[in-house]
Amino acid sequence: MLLVLLATLVSGCGGAKPPPPRMVRVPDVLGLSANEGIQRVHTAGLCPVPELGDTIGSPRFSVVAAVIPPPDDRIAAGSEVGLRPGECVTAEG
């Protein structure tokens, strides 16, 4: 009897399950300055991971060109969001 009770407790059966993580939306920071993009991702409750490397001081790489995961995806609060720099290309119409 004691062995069955102990096995149940060790296996996690009967214990309280942790609540599901709070999900938040990845903000659309494409085309924003690196600093503003980082701030908005942080404000959304996520962890920005800028990939700036050798682009510091290069005007054509001063904006966020890619966000990983993509904007509007819902992910767990505190998750990492990659920000890649690049040129901001606008469609002419």
The answer to whether residue 65 is domain-embedded is: yes
Based on the structure, what is the number of domains in the chain?
1
50-78 confidence digits (pLDDT tens):
886 655 555 555 789 999 999 999 999 99
Q: Do 9 and 15 contact (CB within 8 A), yes or no? A: yes
Q: How many CA atoms lie within 13 A of 15 on its CB side?
A: 12
The answer to whether residue 14 is domain-embedded is: no
Write the CATH number for 78. 3.30.10.20
Q: Pick 11 or 70 by higher pLDDT.
A: 70
| Model pLDDT, residue 62 | 73
pTM here is: 0.69
The answer to whether residue 93 is domain-embedded is: no
The answer to whether residue 6 is domain-embedded is: no
Residue type, position 92, single letter? E
Task: Tell me the two tokens of residue 5.
Answer: 């009770």
Split at pLDDT 50, 70, 90, the class of 5 is very low
Q: Which domain holds residue 57?
A: 19-86
